Chain A
Amino acid sequence: MPAEEIVQMKKVSKAFPGIQALKEVTFSCYQGEIHALVGENGAGKSTMIKILGGVFPPDKGEIVVKGRLCHFKSPSDAQRLGIGVVHQEFSLVPYISVAENLFLGMEKRYSKRRFWFHAANLCRRAEEVLSSLGLEIDPRALVCELGPAQQKWVEIAKALLRKPEVLILDEPTAPFSNQEVSHLFHLLRELKREGTTVVYISHRLDELPQIADRVTVLKDGEKVGTYAINEITEDELILRMTGRKLGELFPPKRKRTRRNKILEIRNLCLDDILRDINLDLYEGEILGIGGLKGHGQDILLRTIFGVYPLNRGEIRVYGKKAQIRSPRDACRLGIALVTDRKEVEGLCMVLPIRHNMALPTLHQRQVLGFIQMKKETRDLHSMANALAIHAPSLGQRVRQLSGGNKQKVVIGKWLLTDPRIILAIDPTAGIDVATKQQLYHLFRRLADEGNKSIILVSSEMKELLGLCDRIVVMREGGIVAEFGSDEATEENILRAAIGVRR
């Protein structure tokens, strides 16, 4: 192993109002290694890479790059020293083209003229860059027209274009399909061969052995340790991340007799995206919807929830035809929607937990339009306790919560409505493994004890197989297969998803 340490953080601390995000963290990586960074939500991973990327300065401690002490005042300072970051959050300009995004801030270097950049020239260069990375993305397309996976690729390409010596990736694979993940790994290995250092953050611990050389574990803002990847097992990693041994990730399933149908979907169509969907959901059942990303699974759930108007077909709830024209109608019918895009669809980030959690049930705790504050406080407290939401008070802004706690607030607000049907789209995306386990057990409890019905769309095969009583597979907007929990295997589902017949 080359011994030169390219980046070092020495005793770095950082505090935000009410929270000590990093406590004297010391971290270093060698030139040409792929160094994974793991930890639960709120462990300080993102804070750490934001300090490395110059987004904000540390309160205390030193950053040493290539043996030189550095004080980054802005991300461009870090870039100049060869540190490139792909942040977890979307950081492109939505209404300009892919090419313009790629070259943003460096147009001059790629265009002969000083002030007017040459659009065609820029596009040609962008095309070269994208195809050299094996990507098929039109450089003329506006970024907002791309899907989330393609947007992530553009961000990665943008970082690589600046030829970083240290590339930091914060949860890059969240929107990716398995194929895309392996393509990314291929690229990273190539970069490594060229001597680039990669710092890689991920919640998917099973990915790490394929790609990383060493792994550093953070917990509650402190470093637990750095380990060579082949000397530590996944279970040991989890133990170090959580400080305790996790029980079974998935709760046991119970054999059940079929009960009442609660939801029937007949011949549902939406433009070209959903084709003739027929689906039944029973009381107390967790139904999984699998398939490759982008084959209409999430759109189906959003359509049931009234986000998109359906062209044809009908939805019946408890045997009665339901008119769902808006999310409002869906809420009235006792349907709830929890998605992976909690910041966009689930929460008002600037508002406190209280406002967010009480929102859909305000009308239940009001007299003549006035809120019954005491009742609200009581209800919210008991829900927050039941879900083990970690926050100093209900007045805490949700923006300051960790990803897992944010999702718990979203789930809490819907559970308060006492829904009969819960629609969940990748509810555990970007959430640490301990919280994931809590959520899985919660879903099972809701189904078994609360007799609630849950439809779960997930891109994680393990989640579908571990949690669901029944799994249907979607391909190109239609349902192509259905498996009971005893027949479902990873292979079966994948075959159906990519359309391979036995």
Chain B
Amino acid sequence: MKLLSRLSRRRFVGFFLLLGLMITLSIELPQFYAAQNLSNLLLRAVPLLCVALGQMIVILIAGIDLSVGATLSLATAIASHLMVRSIPLAILSILAAGMFIGLINGLGAVKAKINPFVMTFGTSSVLNGVTLYIRPSPGGYIPRVYVNTILAYWGSVPVGPLFILCLVLIVGFWLLYKTTYGRHLYAVGGNEEAARLAGINVAVCKILAYIVCGLFASLAGLYMTARIASGDPAVGGTFVLDSIGAVAVGGTALTGGRGTLWGTLFGVIIFSVLSNIFNLLNVNIYWQYVFKGLIVIGVVGFSQLKERK
């Protein structure tokens, strides 16, 4: 009971939503728990978690990154050209590209003091252009080896994606809760002036947040490359709003300084489970958008209501 009240106090409305959903599903939609479907769910959740984690870090410092989707698409486009030559080279250059994009976003938002919304929206457009130039339509060749490693199965268990999921969670956990950098993130988001007066290099902390976000987005791109086994300039499209939505549903304050890894994880699971259910129920894709939007508004609105009391 104490745990319950604690959870509800911590804006974990998402947790209850998920719980209710799971119970309803087991009664109404037994095929949801089929092994095939669960592994499908996992396959979808991994890239969103990756992107959402980076997004959350930027939102913690009261920023926002609208270029994650474009970074992801660009990553697949680069992969579709470079992977044939050398897989390690492709991976390294994609990760470097992600970090470079983050650096540019960070410099623009922090040093040039361009509003992060505007700055990352701008880079997003630039990246879209570049991606379409190098890969105008889905295609290219991705080596089987790469696809089979990332999406490795053991029987019907997708151990590859599972491994990546755990890795991302562990890295996120350590980064946010165990390192000095994690503490700096919360402090800068919580009160920038106080953080500055405590001797923290605020600018570096913020720029690093964008770099980490870019890195996670390109990592998600590497994963998506394996899933679609090609380069696709449109693959990242839904990730921008999904990641922001998942972070918000997970209880992270868009004003910065507040948010938990578990909240974000819940947000990601809710988003993945919802689209999975809609697919199982054969709900028209257009309606899926409508429902997703309503759920974000509903959950965040509800937790605001609780907060005010």
A binds B: yes
Chain A residues proximal to chain B, CB less than 8 Å: 17, 305, 307, 326-328, 330-332, 337, 344-351, 355-356, 358-360, 362-363, 366, 369-371, 373, 413
* Cβ of B200 under 8 Å from chain A: yes
Q: Please give me the 10 A-B residue pairs with the lowest Cβ-Cβ distance, nearest first.
A: A348-B190, A331-B199, A362-B180, A348-B191, A360-B198, A359-B198, A328-B199, A369-B179, A351-B190, A350-B257
Taking the closest CB of chain A, its distance from the CB of B262, in whole angstroms, is: 15
Taking the closest CB of chain A, its distance from the CB of B26, in whole angstroms, is: 34
* Cβ of B186 under 8 Å from chain A: yes
With A369-B179, A370-B179 as contacts: A350 and B190 at CB distance below 8 Å: yes
With A344-B193, A348-B191 as contacts: A371 and B198 at CB distance below 8 Å: no
User: Most chain-A CB neighbours within 10 Å: which of B180, B181, B253?
Assistant: B180
Question: In the bound complex, do residue A362 and residue B184 qualify as a contact, i.e. CB atoms below 8 Å apart?
Answer: yes
With A327-B197, A348-B191 as contacts: A369 and B253 at CB distance below 8 Å: no
Alpha-carbon distance between A138 and B183 when the two chains are bound, in angstroms: 43
With A348-B191, A349-B190, A350-B253 as contacts: A371 and B183 at CB distance below 8 Å: yes
Interface of B, helix, strand, loop or mixed by DSSP: helix
With A348-B194, A348-B257, A363-B180 as contacts: A355 and B187 at CB distance below 8 Å: yes
Taking the closest CB of chain B, its distance from the CB of A191, in whole angstroms, is: 34
Alpha-carbon distance between A358 and B178 when the two chains are bound, in angstroms: 13
Q: Which of A17, A305, A359, A373 contacts B187 (CB 8 A)?
A: A359
The 7 sampled A-B contact pairs (Cβ below 8 Å) are A330-B199, A331-B198, A347-B194, A348-B194, A359-B183, A360-B199, A370-B179
Alpha-carbon distance between A351 and B184 when the two chains are bound, in angstroms: 11
Q: Known A-B contacts: A366-B179, A369-B181. Give 20 more (CB < 8 A).
A: A327-B197, A331-B198, A332-B199, A344-B193, A344-B194, A345-B197, A348-B186, A349-B190, A350-B257, A351-B187, A351-B257, A355-B183, A355-B190, A359-B187, A359-B195, A359-B198, A362-B180, A366-B180, A369-B179, A371-B178
Taking the closest CB of chain A, its distance from the CB of B183, in whole angstroms, is: 6
Collect the chain B residues with CB atoms within 8 Å of residue A351's CB. 186-187, 190, 257
Collect the chain A residues with CB atoms within 8 Å of residue B292's CB. none
Question: In the bound complex, do residue B191 and residue A327 qualify as a contact, i.e. CB atoms below 8 Å apart?
Answer: no
Question: In the bound complex, do residue B179 and residue A371 qualify as a contact, i.e. CB atoms below 8 Å apart?
Answer: yes
Question: In the bound complex, do residue A413 and residue B186 qualify as a contact, i.e. CB atoms below 8 Å apart?
Answer: no
Alpha-carbon distance between A337 and B197 when the two chains are bound, in angstroms: 8
Question: In the bound complex, do residue A346 and residue B174 qualify as a contact, i.e. CB atoms below 8 Å apart?
Answer: no
User: Most chain-B CB neighbours within 10 Å: which of A347, A350, A363?
Assistant: A350
* Cβ of B201 under 8 Å from chain A: yes
Q: Which residue of A lies closest to B188 (CB)?
A: A348
Q: Which of B186, B194, B201, B258 contacts A328 (CB 8 A)?
A: B201
Alpha-carbon distance between A212 and B1 when the two chains are bound, in angstroms: 49
Question: In the bound complex, do residue B257 and residue A358 qualify as a contact, i.e. CB atoms below 8 Å apart?
Answer: no
Collect the chain B residues with CB atoms within 8 Å of residue A347's CB. 191, 194
Question: In the bound complex, do residue A370 and residue B197 qualify as a contact, i.e. CB atoms below 8 Å apart?
Answer: no
Collect the chain B residues with CB atoms within 8 Å of residue A360's CB. 198-199
Q: Which residue of A lies closest to B258 (CB)?
A: A350
Collect the chain B residues with CB atoms within 8 Å of residue A356's CB. 187
Alpha-carbon distance between A356 and B198 when the two chains are bound, in angstroms: 9
With A327-B196, A331-B198 as contacts: A17 and B191 at CB distance below 8 Å: no
Question: In the bound complex, do residue A346 and residue B194 qualify as a contact, i.e. CB atoms below 8 Å apart?
Answer: yes
* Cβ of B9 under 8 Å from chain A: yes
With A331-B198, A360-B198 as contacts: A370 and B178 at CB distance below 8 Å: yes
User: Most chain-A CB neighbours within 10 Å: which of B190, B199, B258?
Assistant: B199
Collect the chain A residues with CB atoms within 8 Å of residue B187's CB. 348, 351, 355-356, 359
Q: Which of B181, B184, B198, B253 contacts A327 (CB 8 A)?
A: B198
Collect the chain B residues with CB atoms within 8 Å of residue A355's CB. 183, 186-187, 190
Taking the closest CB of chain A, its distance from the CB of B124, in whole angstroms, is: 29
Taking the closest CB of chain B, its distance from the CB of A333, in whole angstroms, is: 10
Taking the closest CB of chain A, its distance from the CB of B269, in whole angstroms, is: 25
Collect the chain A residues with CB atoms within 8 Å of residue B197's CB. 305, 307, 327, 337, 345-346
Alpha-carbon distance between A315 and B194 when the two chains are bound, in angstroms: 23
Interface of A, helix, strand, loop or mixed by DSSP: helix
Collect the chain B residues with CB atoms within 8 Å of residue A17's CB. 9
Alpha-carbon distance between A347 and B195 when the two chains are bound, in angstroms: 8
Question: In the bound complex, do residue B181 and residue A413 qualify as a contact, i.e. CB atoms below 8 Å apart?
Answer: no
Alpha-carbon distance between A175 and B186 when the two chains are bound, in angstroms: 31
Alpha-carbon distance between A360 and B183 when the two chains are bound, in angstroms: 10
Alpha-carbon distance between A350 and B192 when the two chains are bound, in angstroms: 12
Alpha-carbon distance between A330 and B197 when the two chains are bound, in angstroms: 9
Alpha-carbon distance between A413 and B196 when the two chains are bound, in angstroms: 14
Collect the chain A residues with CB atoms within 8 Å of residue B258's CB. 350
Q: Which of B33-92 contact A (CB under 8 A)?
A: none
Alpha-carbon distance between A360 and B180 when the two chains are bound, in angstroms: 10
Q: Which residue of B lies closest to A327 (CB)?
A: B197
Taking the closest CB of chain B, its distance from the CB of A354, in whole angstroms, is: 9
Taking the closest CB of chain A, its distance from the CB of B255, in whole angstroms, is: 9
Taking the closest CB of chain B, its distance from the CB of A427, in whole angstroms, is: 14
Collect the chain A residues with CB atoms within 8 Å of residue B193's CB. 344-345
Collect the chain A residues with CB atoms within 8 Å of residue B199's CB. 327-328, 330-332, 360
Taking the closest CB of chain B, its distance from the CB of A379, in whole angstroms, is: 14
Collect the chain A residues with CB atoms within 8 Å of residue B181's CB. 369
Interface string of B258-271 (1 = CB under 8 A from A): 10000000000000
Alpha-carbon distance between A327 and B258 when the two chains are bound, in angstroms: 25
Question: In the bound complex, do residue B200 and residue A328 qualify as a contact, i.e. CB atoms below 8 Å apart?
Answer: yes
Question: In the bound complex, do residue A413 and residue B179 qualify as a contact, i.e. CB atoms below 8 Å apart?
Answer: no
Collect the chain B residues with CB atoms within 8 Å of residue A350's CB. 190, 253, 257-258
Taking the closest CB of chain B, its distance from the CB of A278, in whole angstroms, is: 26
Q: Which residue of A lies closest to B5 (CB)?
A: A17
Alpha-carbon distance between A330 and B198 when the two chains are bound, in angstroms: 10
User: Most chain-A CB neighbours within 10 Å: which of B190, B195, B258?
Assistant: B190
Taking the closest CB of chain B, its distance from the CB of A140, in whole angstroms, is: 28
With A328-B201, A350-B253 as contacts: A345 and B194 at CB distance below 8 Å: yes
Alpha-carbon distance between A357 and B218 when the two chains are bound, in angstroms: 36
Taking the closest CB of chain B, its distance from the CB of A362, in whole angstroms, is: 4
Alpha-carbon distance between A373 and B174 when the two chains are bound, in angstroms: 12
Taking the closest CB of chain A, its distance from the CB of B60, in whole angstroms, is: 11
Interface string of B198-211 (1 = CB under 8 A from A): 11110000000000
Alpha-carbon distance between A327 and B200 when the two chains are bound, in angstroms: 8
Collect the chain B residues with CB atoms within 8 Å of residue A326's CB. 196
Collect the chain B residues with CB atoms within 8 Å of residue A344's CB. 191, 193-194
Collect the chain B residues with CB atoms within 8 Å of residue A413's CB. 198
Question: In the bound complex, do residue A349 and residue B186 qualify as a contact, i.e. CB atoms below 8 Å apart?
Answer: no
Q: Which residue of B lies closest to A364 (CB)?
A: B180
Alpha-carbon distance between A115 and B125 when the two chains are bound, in angstroms: 41
Alpha-carbon distance between A292 and B201 when the two chains are bound, in angstroms: 34
Collect the chain B residues with CB atoms within 8 Å of residue A332's CB. 199
Collect the chain B residues with CB atoms within 8 Å of residue A358's CB. 183
Collect the chain A residues with CB atoms within 8 Å of residue B200's CB. 328, 359
